[in-house]
Amino acid sequence: MVHLTDAQLATIMQAARTVPVDLRQAFLEQLAIELRGQDLGDGLVHRVAHDVARRISWDAERLTAAVG
C-alpha cells in the first residue's frame, strides 16, 4: 500500500488530469508500481506522477495517430 500526504495526492490528481479518462486507471496502476518501496518525498511523487502521465498520454497519441 502506498501512503500519500494531501499535497502528494493533489500532485497525482493534477498529473491525472493530463491523461485521457479511459487511461486513468492504467496511470494509477503504473504509478503505484513505480512508487512502491520508495521513500515518498514530494519531489519524487511529482516527478514520477508526471513522467507516468506523459508516457501514457504519449503512447495513446502514438496509437491514435497510427490507427488514424
- Could you read off the pLDDT of 2-54 as tens digits, one per residue? 788 999 999 999 999 999 999 999 999 999 999 999 999 999 999 999 999 99
d(CA 31, CA 23): 12
- The answer to whether position 56 is within a domain reads yes
Is there a domain that residue 37 lies in?
yes
Model pTM score: 0.82
pLDDT at 15: 98
Q: Is the pLDDT of residue 65 over 80?
A: no
Number of domains the chain contains: 1
Q: Which three cell numbers stand for residue 64?
A: 491514435
Indicate whether 1 belongs to any domain. no
Q: At what angle do helices 24-35 and 42-67 cross, to 10 degrees?
A: 140
Q: Is residue 23 part of a domain?
A: yes
In a domain, 29, yes or no: yes
Kindly state whether residue 33 falls inside one of the protein's structural domains: yes
Q: What pLDDT, on the 0 to 100 scale, is given for residue 58? A: 78
The pLDDT score that the predictor gives to residue 54 is 95
Residue 58: what residue type?
A: W
Residues of the domain holding 51: 6-67
